Amino acid sequence: MTKTREMLLWVLGVLLLLFSSLDVWYFVRAAVTVVRAWFQKPVWDVLGEQSVSGRILLHDIDLGHMNNARYLRECDFARFSLYSRNGVFKACRALRATMVVGATTIRLRRALCLGEAFELRTRIMVWDEKAFYLEQRFVSCRDGLVAAVMLCKQNVMRSSPDKILQFLCKRKVECPDYPEDLQHWISFISASSQALRAQSGLEDKTGAQEDKDK
């Protein structure tokens, strides 16, 4: 009995340490999302839209509606599911590439309230030499309204979107035309990056190095 009690206390201590130092539920849900996607029908169209269902629960809300940070969290899991089903994760493993979020912008149009069901629709819109650009929409099941829409820049490290798509499709895939609103958003990201580099003095150092090389 004493050994059992000691073992139980040891397990509780480890769990307490984990939950106090890590966002355990995030990693658990991410793993469940990827495993579940393995058993779902593959998305053969890499640019096709995928929809996942959700419902606003008590841990999602503040003041009766979905917390702003929860939108971004749900988008993470939806992207994990999309990349698992359309093969992008598989291609990244084969090419030894990784992906990180480079920028996100979300527009909240109407609050999603406690108990409300929604669909989160995710698709790859376009890409360039360094990143995929995705759109993610929260669509209310109550009235079909797009309650929120997010744009995401998914940077590809140690490879490129073109190489990933060629690996999956066994041919070069032509990039669709850039929507006007996405062009404006990309211009904003570029202008912001240049301004921050200038504030950090990086442009001056780069220019000085270029003059030195000449």
Judged on CB neighbours under 10 Å (0-12, 13-18, 19+), 120 is buried
Confidence of residue 90 (pLDDT cuts 50, 70, 90): very high
pLDDT one-digit tens code per residue, 37-84: 988 888 888 889 999 999 999 999 988 899 999 999 999 999 999 999
What is the per-residue pLDDT across 137-188, written as a single tens digit (0 to 9) for each? 999 999 999 999 999 999 999 999 999 999 999 999 999 999 999 999 999 9
pLDDT at residue 125, rounded to an integer: 97
Please name every residue paired with 151 in a beta bridge, in sequence order, or none if there are none. Answer: 105, 135
DSSP string, the chain: -HHHHHHHHHHHHHHHHHHHHS-HHHHHHHHHHHHHHHTSPP--STT--EEEEEE--GGGEETTEE-HHHHHHHHHHHHHHHHHHHSHHHHHHHHT-EEEEEEEEEEE-SPPBTT-EEEEEEEEEEE-SSEEEEEEEEEETTT--EEEEEEEEEEEESS-HHHHHHHHHSSPPPPPPPPHHHHHHHHHHHHHHHHHHHHTTHHHHHHHHHHHH-
Q: Considering only CA atoms, which of 123, 145, 133 is closest in space to residue 184?
A: 133
Q: In what order do the strands lie in the sheet with 98-108?
A: 50-55, 117-127, 131-140, 146-157, 98-108
